[in-house]
A = this chain, B = another copy of it.
Amino acid sequence: MRAGVERRGATESMRTADLHTEATVVDGLQINNWSPDVLRQLRKGGIHGVNATCAVWEGPTETLRLIGDWCQLQAAHPDLLRLVTSSEQIREAKASGHVGVLLGFQNTSPFADDYRMVEVFHRLGVRIAQLTYNNQNLVGGACYEPVDSGLTRFGKVIVAEMNRVGMLVDLSHVGNRTCLEAIAASSGPVAITHSNPTWFVDSPRNKPDEVIEALTARGGVIGACLYPNVIGGSAATLDGFCTMVARLCDQVGAEHVALGSDCTQDWGQDYVAYLRDGRWRPTDSTNPPQWPQWPSWFTGPADFPHVTDGLQAVGLSDAEVTGILGGNWLRLFDDVFPGTRSES
């Protein structure tokens, strides 16, 4: 067990409400069916910034429409949300009572086969892109494929272009070989926005030590994930999850650990079938995919403070918790988003 657990008692910690006021809280990934109601749930949960998935399987044209949807949502609810592109703007969103929405991709499908689309979507405000989503693509291998090719020739171009324009590489659903090659190829730190260590739950969606340690050794951040399938199902306990986070802090340093809840608020069953099957295979109508049940202590964005409670309860310091709640994402964004344009 980590030293911190014995080092200090819960009485020495700030109350959760105070911590959420003190900290700038950033969720490394949510893939909700976004609406004013969902945004209010984030506000209730004390979340100031979020990497909001705006493309999973979609190609360039479809993604333009999804970004259009975000523009429309912002225009209709200027009191609720701000589309943001920097840590500074997330802090401003917090100050003005908005949810700061950072547009992110869970796939490089919006770039299609064109490296120039990285800059195009960067200009549209996209700041995070996962290299692959479950399946192999033009860029590399993915976590659910039987074989991982590693980063392709095009993948190397894409990573270099993301480095250049200042777009964060996300490796959450990426295959382990491609993760390692992308970490090595990237000129700056990269992220796993929403995965856990395989030593916690052995899932293709979680990451072995080799990947996590390579990532954090180069300044990257891993967001511990609350999605039921990667925490061991709905029976997982808050204490078990937070103990995992604390051990991960001991393993790689608390400044490299954050949260990526993977909230899937307000979607119907059709959307989980889309996430699993995309358009790449027919959905088995006799046994269609179902959303997993979330644990009682985390059923959506409004439950974020429970996690804060839990992180304090396992003995993490206020400074560590503040970093995990958002400070570490903000530092990484500051490292990555300026880009290295002068190199090109």
Contacts and interface: CB of A to CB of B under 8 A. Distances in A.
Interface of A: 57, 59, 61, 109, 112-116, 135-138, 141, 144-150, 152-154, 157, 278-282
User: What 9 A-B pairs are tightest by C-beta distance, nearest first?
Assistant: A149-B149, A114-B279, A154-B280, A136-B152, A147-B149, A157-B281, A147-B150, A113-B279, A113-B280
A61 B62 CA distance: 13
A8 to B, nearest CB: 48
B114 A157 contact: no
Given A115-B281, A115-B282, A146-B153, 8 more contacts: A59-B112, A114-B279, A138-B138, A145-B153, A147-B149, A149-B149, A154-B280, A157-B280
Contacts of A157: 280-281
A183 to B, nearest CB: 17
B149 A278 contact: no
A154 B135 contact: yes
27 contacts: A57-B113, A59-B112, A59-B113, A61-B61, A109-B113, A113-B278, A113-B279, A114-B280, A115-B279, A115-B282, A116-B279, A135-B152, A136-B136, A136-B154, A137-B138, A138-B138, A138-B280, A141-B149, A144-B153, A146-B150, A146-B153, A147-B150, A148-B149, A149-B149, A153-B280, A153-B281, A157-B280
Contacts of A114: 279-280
Contacts of A281: 115, 153-154, 157
Nearest to A137: B138
Contacts of A153: 135, 144-146, 280-281
Nearest to A160: B281
A136 B135 contact: no
Contacts of A113: 57, 59, 109, 278-280
Nearest to A177: B147
A313 to B, nearest CB: 41
Nearest to A280: B154
A136 B149 contact: yes
A157 to B, nearest CB: 5
Contacts of A150: 146-147
B141 A138 contact: no
Contacts of A145: 149, 152-153
A200 to B, nearest CB: 26
Contacts of A154: 135-136, 280-281
A22 to B, nearest CB: 44
A241 B119 CA distance: 47
A121 to B, nearest CB: 14
Contacts of A115: 279-282
A340 B59 CA distance: 31
Nearest to A134: B153
Nearest to A140: B136
Contacts of A282: 115
